[in-house]
């Protein structure tokens, strides 16, 4: 899920997590048209460059979020992940960032000096990364590259948490955790009904909640929560209360949540009747989450 912020991008410009906080330029045209799996974004949130890995080049997802920004009208270039090609693209991208050549490119020239650093390698593409059949082996291979070429970078998984109960996925999560990793799990509903309205999947809400709880008991999670207007209606107050209740259930069960990212639609969503919340509405949700759960919450706004 959810591609996070993509402020300027290079490579196979894809996005899983929905949000974006504009920084350098809001421009997502492809630059390296030859790249199939690896791209780069400059991110204010991560205070540096994030190298994105798209493990869903077929653009298939087990969710169908109303706010999804993946362009599914354009047919995919490839449908499967070629691991050796992916690793080759990753080496090249790391070199571009580390040598500074990335910032000689037109699209990255305006990057402020303090953001000209590699922050992370993030699994975030055109679908749910953990559904990739070779997910475990790919994570192992990328962790190995990171170990040798950019040890300090984080390894981030942006996910809808639907597959955490699979053995291979669990093993991959453990590898991510051992490699300066962070799991950003999306949760943006408090009730089954609202979850179905927003995420449009047949996967039961309880499975997502159980998966989040179990993973949070192993390692601290970041929760990504996108709220929006649906047919011009903001999320109902009782839904937001229920959302806080779900977070409290995770922590009451011994789960750790290190951050709740509250954001809204920042790019063209799948459905025209989905629109962004105002900055004040996002702030109000952050305040509610902090008050009701005691967790740290951060606001990320929509287009200004």
Place of tokens 């080759």: 88
Look up residue 263 and give its DSSP letter.
E
Query: How many residues bind ligand SF4, per CB under 6 A?
Result: 13
Neighbours of 206 (CB within 10 A): 10
| Pair type for strands 297-300 and 48-53 | unpaired
What's the token pair of residue 40?
């780069």
Q: What does R_g of the chain's alpha carbons equal in angstroms?
A: 18
Distance CA 39, CA 30 (A): 9
Q: Closer CB to ligand SF4, residue 65 or residue 96?
A: 65
Distance CA 267, CA 68 (A): 9
Residue window 153-182: x/- pattern of binding to ligand SF4, with contact defined by CB under 6 A: -------x----------------------
Q: Closer CB to ligand SF4, residue 46 or residue 160?
A: 160
Q: Does the footprint of ligand SF4 cover residue 129 (CB under 6 A)?
A: no
Q: Closer CB to ligand SF4, residue 97 or residue 183?
A: 183
User: Minimum CB separation from ligand SF4 for residue 129, in Å?
Assistant: 9
User: Minimum CB separation from ligand SF4 for residue 150, in Å?
Assistant: 26
Residue window 40-79: x/- pattern of binding to ligand SF4, with contact defined by CB under 6 A: ---------------------x-xxx--x-x---------
Distance CA 160, CA 237 (A): 23
Cβ 241 vs Cβ 228: under 8 Å = no
Residues 6+ apart with CB under 8 A from 304: 22, 279
In this chain, which of 6, 16, 246, 267 binds ligand SF4, going by CB under 6 A?
Answer: 16
In this chain, which of 6, 8, 14, 18 binds ligand SF4, going by CB under 6 A?
Answer: 18
Q: Closer CB to ligand SF4, residue 160 or residue 293?
A: 160
Q: Which residues bind ligand SF4 (CB under 6 A)?
A: 1-2, 16, 18, 61, 63-65, 68, 70, 127-128, 160
């Amino acid at each position: 899920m959810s591609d996070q912020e993509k402020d300027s991008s290079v490579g196979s410009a894809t996005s899983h997590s929905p949000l974006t906080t504009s920084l350098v330029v809001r421009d997502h045209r492809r630059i390296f048209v030859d790249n199939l799996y690896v791209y780069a974004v400059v991110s204010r949130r991560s205070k540096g460059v994030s190298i994105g890995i798209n493990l869903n080049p077929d653009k298939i997802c087990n969710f169908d979020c109303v706010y999804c920004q993946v362009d599914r009208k354009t047919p995919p270039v490839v449908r499967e992940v070629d691991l050796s090609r992916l690793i080759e693209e990753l080496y090249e991208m790391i070199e571009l960032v580390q040598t500074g050549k990335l910032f000689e490119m037109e699209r990255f020239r305006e990057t402020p000096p303090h953001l000209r650093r590699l922050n992370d390698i993030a699994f975030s593409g055109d679908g749910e990364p953990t559904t990739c059949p070779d997910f475990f082996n790919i994570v192992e291979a990328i962790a190995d590259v990171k170990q040798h070429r950019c040890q300090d970078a984080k390894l981030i998984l942006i996910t809808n948490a639907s597959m955490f109960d699979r053995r291979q996925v669990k093993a991959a999560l453990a590898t991510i955790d051992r490699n300066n990793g962070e799991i950003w799990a999306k949760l943006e509903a408090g009730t089954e009904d609202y979850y179905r309205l927003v995420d449009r999947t047949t996967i039961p809400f309880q499975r997502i909640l159980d998966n989040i709880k179990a993973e949070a008991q192993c390692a601290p999670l970041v929760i990504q929560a996108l709220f929006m207007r649906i047919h011009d209606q903001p999320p109902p107050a009782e839904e937001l209360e229920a959302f806080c209740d779900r977070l409290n259930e995770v922590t009451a069960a011994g789960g750790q949540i290190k951050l709740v990212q509250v954001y809204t639609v920042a790019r063209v969503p799948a459905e025209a009747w989905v629109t962004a919340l105002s900055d004040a509405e996002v702030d109000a949700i952050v305040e509610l989450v902090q008050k009701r759960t005691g967790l740290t919450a951060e606001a990320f706004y929509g287009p200004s």
